[in-house]
Chain A
Amino acid sequence: MAAGSGRHRPYNILEASMRIHRGIGLLTATLLLPLVSSAAADAKRGEKLYTGRCGACHSIADNGAGPRHRGLFGCKAGTQAGFNYSDALRKSGIVWDDQTLDRWLADPNKMVPGNSMAVQLASDPTDRADLIAWLRAATTGEGSCQRAGSAGQGQSAAHR
């Protein structure tokens, strides 16, 4: 309806139907995209990428130059016990999941300026999907971080 025209435009059932279908299509595509991405992701390749690109600083079980990854999904960023995080990451409010990890791996400095992970090693979306698929499989188990929705267990006084 044209605003201020003073005339009602006839209701076009065909146009409305097409709009609804387009909306459903878009919604379906949006909902299915993560499933398609994770289904297509290659966790085995992700393991190799993790070893070659992340393994210098990270491991699943131990803190090193970077924090351990055990229990990563659902962790509040900057709360893994025993690791000295930057203020920037500790105060970021990020909870690690597929989406936040994808943004982080693409460019940590862009996502959290001033954080300590000054490294860009997964600019390719396929690499990130494979890495995240591997992390999902490999980091299961009890972590020592603060979980989303909890109030601080695992938080070390040593954190900056």
Chain B
Amino acid sequence: MSDTQIPSTLIDVGGSRRSFLRRSALLSGAAVALLGGVPLRGIAAHNDAQASSDVNILNVALGLEHEGIAAYQIGAGSGLLDKPTLAVASLFLSHHEGHREVLMGAIKKMGGTPVAAKTTDEYKASEKLNVKAIKTAADVLRLAQRLELGAANAYIGVMPSFTDRSLSQVAGRLIADETMHWTALTQALGEALPKPTLSFGA
């Protein structure tokens, strides 16, 4: 899979699954810290309808994170990725698991119920992920690239709708992660970065 390998100079990660799991556990702490650092100060001042609107948006975002996690897990388990690429995919997976915790924490804090993930079989059967069409490592990366772009744009699109501005800050940090992933995946696929300025969102 040399044509789709993510250069180690671009993202320096250790390779093993065990270290990925350790990092994942650390990220859980980081996720809590992220939420702790952004204490949703405005929530108390908001009425139920505004809080409900914010919870609905966060739950849509959580659904996308669940889907992203499933896609990375499916990709990582496909046997198509070489070791360095698998390490980067595992790192990105752990970021999305961290996002999931941030979003679930925020939803609970606001009195909402976090949306549950679908089963792996349901994700595999979805037309959107189109898992059955994945034949090569490049296909795995293209799926991840597509989901990262969609997630970045979705977060950008909902930012003006948050009634609690501290949630916009959380969204901004999530967007930065998604964009970092998209950029690495795009370079790994040998594709050019966008020429126009302001190429994300609308």
Contact = CB atoms under 8 A, between A and B. Distances in A.
A41 B154 CA distance: 24
B106 interface: no
Given A118-B161, A124-B202, A52 B53 contact: no
A123 B156 CA distance: 13
B166 interface: no
Contact of B126 (A62, A116, A123): A62
Contact of B158 (A51, A60, A64, A118): A118
Interface residues of A, number: 22
Contacts of A55: 128, 146, 150
Given A52-B150, A56-B153, A121 B202 contact: yes
B63 interface: yes
Given A51-B146, A65-B60, A109-B161, A59 B128 contact: yes
Contacts of B57: 118
A48 to B, nearest CB: 10
Contacts of B190: none
Interface of A is mostly: loop
Nearest to B151: A56
Nearest to A123: B202
Interface string B157-168: 110110000000
A127 interface: yes
Given A65-B60, A127-B202, A119 B161 contact: yes
Interface in A83-135: 109, 116, 118-124, 127
A56 B154 contact: yes
Contact of A122 (B64, B150, B202): B202
A61 interface: yes
A136 interface: no
B150 A51 contact: yes
A122 B154 CA distance: 12
Contacts of B151: 56
Interface string B53-93: 10011001001100100000000000000000000000000
B64 A120 contact: no
Contacts of B202: 53, 120-124, 127
B134 interface: no
A136 B56 CA distance: 29
A147 B146 CA distance: 32
B126, B150, B158, B201 — which one has the most chain A CB atoms within 10 A of its CB? B150
Interface of A: 51-53, 55-57, 59-62, 64-65, 109, 116, 118-124, 127
Interface of B: 53, 56-57, 60, 63-64, 67, 126-128, 146-147, 149-151, 153-154, 156-158, 160-161, 201-202
17 contacts: A51-B150, A52-B149, A53-B153, A55-B128, A56-B150, A56-B151, A56-B153, A57-B150, A59-B127, A60-B127, A64-B126, A65-B64, A118-B57, A119-B157, A121-B153, A123-B202, A127-B202
